[in-house]
């Protein structure tokens, strides 16, 4: 790895090498991989499945490759070069550390450590950024809830392990420094972070005020950040160090020096921090520890960055002063500054993930499937559950709250790991539901209230709630949730049982049908960018929030498919509750909608997408652009529409012919080449990007599930593999996003950079792919009655094994292929059963052996 810093990091490595060979200093031509379509193979690390880690061995990854710290309330984002930021619960309103948006480089601002050799004066960052010195043995290990970054430079090995202990609102950095020289070493070690003045949006814009408000306290070497604590905030941040300090800084300018940046802080260069106290400007935290190491000797320094809240009446100590009351936080700080306790907390975190991931494990013939299902996809599901779409390197954390649609779908991939948290989320979501059955599109996690700025009117939203609750019931069998009293729109006094919320969700659509009897689309449906009532002609106007037409004409075939599906789910729930008549009603309405789809939503060979405000078809052979869309074809076939008369098979074949590419299935074809005012945002994107014919990974699983419903295990798994990030690791130079998590979008075939991923991490792709592979391809599916075993796997798989902890019972499952089909014969503890649903053991046993023969 030595020497990589000489290269131009932006270029893919082979192009880079070529440029060097040819002594080109400026690369002007089109990049080779863009023009020939031949991907260059290049990896930046490897999977260590044993340790459940991805190990990055080259710091200049194509984009920052990040991880999340924290699983509960305190969170951090950390890149492979220690960039990123931290927050408590709400990424906008309780931001601890500063991040500069759309910065260059992308991930600048972070949890930076500097080391300095006292004799030579040389200094560097073991995480490469921000100083970017040449390092040997650089490695970044992203694991389950932690990241360790280390390297060797100037004979000094250093590694920092970052994580958030379970149940605490703080992050631990454990820095281990080892002298690999054969002479003693005198090293200055520095930590550094820049505080954000809490509201990240205000922090980035309101300088006339904010340059005056910054305040800190330093006591016993602990730096307390207390901006606005003197008035309406009861919370503060602290940054502590386990060792005796040789100095500290709390004012950024004193640390960096004038006109300098984080790559060469003046105080680090000088080897001495100046003990500055911030008044206004930019409060920061930096510690200095001087260490002496014999050859081979190792020392560990622990740093803590944390968040603490005091009761209003006990903010100050002594009362009446302006000094933070530190009584309750000091013991916490003392506890984790002790490396023994930090290690114990780390072990606890490892065990926590071990048990979460242990709930479902598979051993199939495909390593990429195993790795994603057993480790990374499940892990990503936790991140999407926690963050929804709020904070990543593509979601600013200041824009979006928790999405109603998104959070409901996220339950599909998460509910088995933490059902109690899923339950709480379901009730929170329901409490933001409007009395009409409609929904705010988003709510704020801190207040748990619907977000008025974004509003509602996305007519698919209510149905996702039924699907989320159904997933919860199938997993847990906890019928009590349906009786929970829940408010509408957080209005006290409006409480009704959760079950009624589901009824209203369903009925919402019944009172919003259009001219063909299909559901009116409202502001948009799953495709936020199909804005058929928007007619926006004003630059910069938000497609998401601008006033729409009443919209009594534009209809969505996708919502129709969703309605059929949610109606059947709700019917099953109602009939389990003994509400037979109601169940009948849902089934009748679903069947009615199914025939409307077959009559008005069928285009001859595939499902139409929608009708526009003029009653014209969208997603039809009659259209010039946008003849066929993935969503309606995916959701209708997933819902089982057209299974009997070949329409599902025909639609899926059309998708295969017209939408499937080697990098995944695009949203629609042909891409829109210009802006259509009657379509809205979808046509605002250049062809091949995002909703305009990009590969929206979130919807690909709908097609995979559709394929399993018509018995096509080979194709279903093939589609799965095309977007599986692990299977794309070899083409990281093209894919560019992390090879261990899904990205929302991969550029489609109309884009110049076909195959390049964007918006990694926070996407419904995580839950849907997990659900599709586990429940439909591997076919280990939760139902209201028990665990259904119905694999639709590739023909050349001799079988697979899996274990599933389900409602307190461990199912050890072995599937063996004896023929090429998908028919299954099941034995449970040696006894042949009828059908394919394994009901819970009646004899109280906690372990069950299931054997399935596919023929
Ligand atoms: C994006 C969508 C997103 C929406 C809501 C649009 O610009 O293309 O993917 O869901 O914004 O924020
Ligand atoms: C991203 C949003 O979070 C999701 O809800 C939506 O369905 C897709 N974009 C497609 O527009």
Phi-psi region of 707 (alpha: psi -120 to 50; beta: other; left: phi over 0): alpha
pLDDT for residue 736 is more than 50: yes
Ligand 2 atom nearest the C-alpha of 696 is: 10
Using CA atoms of 436, 437, 438, 442 in order, give the dihedral in degrees to the nearest 10. Answer: 120
pLDDT for residue 660 is more than 60: yes
Mean pLDDT for 493-512 is 98
pLDDT at 40: 54
- CA separation, residue 349 to residues 258, 401, 420, 539 (Å): 41, 27, 19, 48
Mean pLDDT for 429-433 is 97
- Cα-based angle 186, 56, 264 (whole degrees, multiple of 5): 40
Mean pLDDT for 171-178 is 98
Burial class (CB in 10 A: 0-12, 13-18, 19+), 102: exposed
For 433, the 3-state DSSP assignment is strand
pLDDT for residue 7 is more than 60: no
pLDDT confidence tier of residue 8, bands split at 50, 70 and 90: very low
Structure tokens at 141: 């290990």
The secondary structure element, H or E, covering residue 115 is strand 112-117
Computed over every residue of the chain, the mean pLDDT equals: 94
213-247 pLDDT, tens digit per residue, is 999 999 999 999 999 999 999 999 999 999 999 99
For 679, the 3-state DSSP assignment is coil
Nearest CA-CA partner of 146 in 49, 258, 287, 52: 52
Mean pLDDT for 715-736 is 97
Mean pLDDT for 17-29 is 35
Catalytic residues: 528
* 836: number of Cβ within 10 Å: 19
pLDDT for residue 825 is more than 90: yes
Structure tokens at 553: 């004409």
Q: Please, what's the b/e burial string for 699-732 (b: 16 or more CB within 10 A of its CB; e: otherwise)?
A: bbbbbbbbbbbbebbbbbbebbbbbbbbbbbebb
DSSP 610-645: EE-TTS-EESSTT-SS--EEHHHHHHHHHTTTTSSS
Mean pLDDT for 293-321 is 98
pLDDT confidence tier of residue 572, bands split at 50, 70 and 90: very high
363-388 pLDDT, tens digit per residue, is 999 999 999 999 999 999 999 999 88
pLDDT at 41: 62
pLDDT at 12: 43
pLDDT for residue 528 is more than 60: yes
Contact yes or no for 763/698 (Cβ under 8 A): yes
Contact yes or no for 287/245 (Cβ under 8 A): yes
Is the bond into 670 cis (omega within 30 degrees of 0)?
yes
529 lines ligand 2 (CB under 6 A): yes
527 lines ligand 2 (CB under 6 A): yes
Mean pLDDT for 333-340 is 98
690 lines ligand 2 (CB under 6 A): no
Contact yes or no for 804/813 (Cβ under 8 A): yes
CA of 58 to the centre of ligand 2 (A): 33
pLDDT at 451: 86
pLDDT confidence tier of residue 445, bands split at 50, 70 and 90: confident
Ligand 2 pocket: which of 693, 764, 767 to mutate (most atoms within 8 A of CB): 764
Using CA atoms of 94, 96, 101, 106 in order, give the dihedral in degrees to the nearest 10. Answer: -140
pLDDT at 390: 85
CA of 763 to the centre of ligand 1 (A): 11
Structure tokens at 722: 């095309």
pLDDT for residue 750 is more than 70: yes
Ligand 1 atom nearest the C-alpha of 690 is: 8
Lowest mean pLDDT among 4-18, 453-467, 646-660, 779-793: 4-18
pLDDT at 30: 35
Tell me how far apart the alpha carbons of residues 119 and 186 are, in angstroms, rounded to a whole number.
Answer: 7
402-414 pLDDT, tens digit per residue, is 899 999 999 999 9
CA of 396 to the centre of ligand 1 (A): 13
In the block, residue with structure tokens 């990896």: 43
Mean pLDDT for 138-149 is 98
CA 448 from chain center: how many Å? 20
Mean pLDDT for 71-95 is 95
Contacts of 152 (CB under 8 A, 6+ apart): 135, 136, 137, 158, 180
Mean pLDDT for 797-812 is 98
Nearest CA-CA partner of 663 in 718, 703, 723: 723
The secondary structure element, H or E, covering residue 301 is strand 298-309
**Whole-model pTM?**
0.94
Mean pLDDT for 685-704 is 98
CA of 595 to the centre of ligand 1 (A): 32
């Amino acid at each position: 790895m030595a020497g990589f810093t000489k290269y131009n990091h932006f270029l893919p490595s082979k192009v880079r090498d070529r440029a060097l060979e040819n002594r080109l200093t400026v690369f002007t031509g089109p990049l080779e991989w863009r023009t020939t379509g031949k991907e260059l193979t290049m990896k930046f690390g490897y999977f260590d499945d044993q340790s459940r880690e991805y190990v990055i061995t080259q710091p200049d990854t194509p984009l920052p490759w990040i991880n999340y710290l924290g699983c509960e309330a305190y969170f951090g984002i950390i890149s492979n070069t220690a960039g990123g930021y931290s927050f408590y619960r709400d990424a906008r309103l309780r931001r601890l550390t500063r991040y500069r948006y759309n910065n260059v480089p992308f991930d600048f601002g972070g949890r930076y450590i500097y080391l300095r050799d006292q004799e030579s004066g040389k200094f560097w960052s073991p995480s490469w950024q921000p100083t970017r010195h040449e390092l040997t043995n650089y490695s970044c290990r992203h694991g389950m809830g932690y990241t360790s970054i280390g390297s060797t430079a100037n004979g000094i090995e250093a590694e920092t392990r970052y994580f958030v202990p379970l149940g605490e609102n703080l992050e631990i950095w454990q820095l281990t420094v080892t002298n690999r020289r054969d002479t003693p070493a005198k090293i200055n070690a520095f930590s550094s972070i820049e505080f954000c003045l809490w509201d990240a949006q205000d922090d980035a814009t309101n300088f006339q005020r904010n340059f005056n408000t910054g305040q800190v306290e330093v006591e016993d070497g602990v730096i307390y950040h207390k901006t606005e604590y003197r008035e309406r905030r009861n919370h503060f941040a602290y940054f502590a160090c386990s060792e005796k300090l040789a100095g500290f800084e709390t004012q950024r300018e004193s640390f960096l020096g004038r006109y300098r940046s984080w790559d060469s802080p003046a105080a680090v260069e000088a080897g001495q921090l100046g003990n500055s106290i911030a008044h206004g400007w930019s409060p920061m935290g930096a510690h200095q520890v001087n260490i002496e190491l014999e050859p081979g000797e190792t020392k560990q320094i622990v740093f803590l960055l944390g968040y603490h809240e005091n009761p209003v009446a006990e903010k100050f100590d002594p009362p009446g002063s302006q000094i933070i009351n530190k009584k309750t936080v000091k013991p916490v700080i003392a506890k984790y500054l002790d490396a023994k306790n930090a290690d114990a907390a780390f072990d606890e975190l490892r065990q926590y993930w071990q048990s979460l991931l242990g709930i479902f494990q598979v051993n199939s013939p495909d390593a990429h499937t195993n790795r994603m299902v057993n480790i990374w996809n499940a892990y990503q599901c936790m991140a999407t559950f926690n963050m929804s779409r709020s904070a990543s390197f593509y979601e600013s954390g200041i824009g979006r709250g928790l999405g109603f649609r998104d959070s409901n779908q996220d339950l599909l991939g998460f509910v088995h790991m933490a059902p109690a948290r899923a339950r709480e989320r379901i009730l929170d979501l329901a409490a933001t539901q409007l009395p009409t059955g409609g929904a705010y599109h988003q709510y704020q996690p801190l207040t748990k209230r619907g977000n008025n700025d974004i509003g509602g009117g996305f007519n698919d939203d209510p149905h996702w709630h039924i699907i989320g609750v159904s997933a919860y019931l199938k997993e847990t069998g906890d019928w009590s949730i349906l009786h929970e009293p829940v408010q509408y729109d957080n209005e006290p006094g409006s409480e009704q049982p959760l079950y009624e919320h589901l009824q209203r969700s369903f009925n919402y659509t019944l009172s919003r049908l259009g001219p063909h009897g299909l559901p009116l689309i409202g502001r948009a449906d799953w495709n936020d960018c199909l804005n058929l009532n928007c007619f926006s002609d004003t630059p910069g106007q938000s497609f998401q929030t601008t006033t729409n037409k009443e919209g009594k004409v534009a209809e969505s075939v996708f919502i129709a498919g969703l309605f059929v599906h949610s109606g059947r789910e709700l019917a099953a729930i109602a009939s389990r509750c003994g509400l037979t008549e109601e169940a009948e009603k849902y089934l009748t309405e679903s069947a009615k909608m199914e025939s409307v789809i077959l009559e008005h939503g069928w285009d001859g060979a595939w499902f139409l997408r929608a009708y526009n405000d003029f009653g014209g078809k969208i997603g039809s052979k009659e259209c010039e652009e946008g003849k066929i869309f993935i969503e309606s074809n995916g959701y209708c076939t997933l819902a089982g529409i057209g299974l009997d008369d070949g329409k599902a098979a025909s639609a899926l074949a059309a998708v295969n012919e017209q939408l499937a590419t080697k990098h995944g299935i695009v949203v629609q074809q042909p891409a829109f080449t210009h802006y259509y005012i009657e379509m809205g945002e979808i046509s605002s994107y250049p062809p091949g990007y995002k909703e305009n014919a990009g590969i929206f990974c979130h919807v690909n699983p709908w097609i995979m599930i559709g394929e399993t419903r018509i018995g096509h295990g080979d194709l279903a798994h093939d589609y799965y593999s095309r977007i599986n990030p692990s299977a794309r690791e070899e083409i990281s130079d093209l894919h560019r996003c992390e090879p261990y998590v899904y990205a929302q979008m991969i550029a489609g075939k109309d884009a110049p950079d076909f195959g390049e991923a964007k918006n990694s991490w926070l996407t419904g792709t995580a839950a849907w792919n997990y659900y599709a592979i586990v429940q439909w391809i591997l076919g280990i599916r939760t139902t209201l009655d028990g665990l259904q075993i119905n694999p639709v796997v590739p023909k050349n798989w001799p079988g697979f094994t899996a274990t599933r902890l389900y409602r307190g019972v461990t199912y050890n499952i072995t599937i063996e292929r004896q023929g090429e089909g998908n028919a299954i014969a099941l034995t449970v503890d040696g006894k042949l059963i009828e059908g394919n649903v394994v009901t819970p053991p009646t004899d109280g046993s906690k372990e069950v052996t299931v054997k399935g023969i596919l023929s």
